[in-house]
């Protein structure tokens, strides 16, 4: 199965290299390996065997790194909120500068499957600048909207995690194909709408996907739904990666993918709430 998320798709490429691993029957002896060594694929450790750290990714590794990246986003976002001048021109400078860096770093990390912690932490820091500036702009216009958006974002995330855990929604191949197609379609529509807006088509509103009207509200709801469904695919890819024994360093890549999804979801919810508050 291939994820529509290129980050976790890279993780699964690594997983596939271990796909031939099969656990041996419980009665199979461990062989002549000395006590304390790590079992080879296809071997089962004897009772009482205490293996050394294997260096393979676990769910806890992904959770801890995701929390760390979120902390970086939160701290840098708070500092950006407080320290970036409120002048609209300066705010836009920081906003578009951070957006450009985020796009470049995001593409590099995703396409190259980079697991370098400092680079991924740097990405989270720049995302913090972006989120902090955008959040302050929205909060100045609609008091209390940031707390509402953040609460809704984590509610959706944990809700999707529960739906996946209890297998209410399953990441079947058909499901993955539909989510992939919808994600590509949504991104394509956003790109076309932005391009038309730059050329002042329809009074600068382009296709009307971001003007706050009924079409914009429907489009934001669709984006929120697609972003939410992506978490199901991401959880599946992480689970498969853990089961396949991918290297521990790939937990950084998986955490990066979750972070990207959370920020996309937050910004879409923030935008939708602003439409409703108008």
How far is residue 222's CA from residue 245's CA, in Å, rounded to a whole number?
35
How far is residue 171's CA from residue 207's CA, in Å, rounded to a whole number?
32
Tell me what pLDDT residue 71 has.
97
pTM of the model: 0.81
How far is residue 261's CA from residue 142's CA, in Å, rounded to a whole number?
24
Confidence of residue 5 (pLDDT cuts 50, 70, 90): low
Segments making up each domain of the chain, as ranges: 56-277
How far is residue 30's CA from residue 39's CA, in Å, rounded to a whole number?
7
pLDDT single digits (tens) 233-266: 999 999 999 999 999 999 999 999 999 999 999 9
Q: What DSSP string runs through 4-67?
A: SSHHHHHHHHHHHTTTT--PPPTTS---SPPTTSPPPTT--PPTT--PPP--B--HHHHHHHHH
pLDDT single digits (tens) 15-73: 454 443 333 333 343 344 443 344 443 444 444 434 444 689 999 999 999 999 999 99
pLDDT single digits (tens) 178-220: 999 999 999 999 989 988 988 888 887 888 899 899 999 999 9
Tell me what pLDDT residue 98 has.
94
How far is residue 35's CA from residue 45's CA, in Å, rounded to a whole number?
9
Q: Which tokens is 52 given?
A: 């050394």
């Amino acid at each position: 199965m291939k994820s529509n998320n290129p980050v976790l798709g890279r993780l699964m490429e690594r997983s596939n290299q271990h796909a031939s691993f099969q656990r041996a029957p419980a009665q199979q002896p461990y062989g002549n390996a000395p006590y304390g060594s790590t079992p080879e694929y296809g071997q089962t450790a004897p009772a009482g065997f205490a293996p050394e750290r294997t260096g393979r990714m676990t769910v806890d590794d992904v959770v801890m790194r995701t929390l760390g990246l979120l902390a970086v986003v939160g701290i840098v976002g708070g500092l950006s909120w407080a320290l970036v001048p409120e002048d609209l021109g300066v705010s836009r400078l920081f906003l578009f500068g951070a957006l450009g860096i985020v796009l470049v770093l995001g593409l590099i990390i995703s396409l190259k499957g980079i697991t370098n912690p400092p680079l991924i932490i740097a990405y989270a820091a720049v995302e913090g600048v972006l989120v902090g500036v955008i959040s302050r702009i929205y909060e100045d216009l609609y008091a209390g909207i940031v707390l509402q958006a953040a609460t809704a974002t984590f509610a959706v995330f944990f809700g999707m995690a529960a739906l996946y855990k209890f297998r209410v929604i399953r990441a079947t191949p058909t499901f993955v194909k539909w989510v992939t197609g919808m994600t590509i379609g949504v991104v394509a529509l956003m790109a076309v709408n932005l391009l038309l807006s730059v050329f002042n088509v329809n009074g600068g509103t382009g296709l009307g996907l971001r003007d706050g009207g009924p079409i914009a509200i429907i489009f934001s709801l669709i984006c929120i739904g697609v972003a939410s469904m992506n978490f199901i695919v991401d959880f599946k890819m992480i689970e498969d990666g853990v089961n396949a024994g991918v290297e521990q360093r790939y937990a950084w890549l998986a955490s990066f993918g979750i972070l990207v999804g959370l920020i996309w979801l937050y910004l879409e919810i923030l935008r939708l709430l602003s439409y409703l508050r108008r």
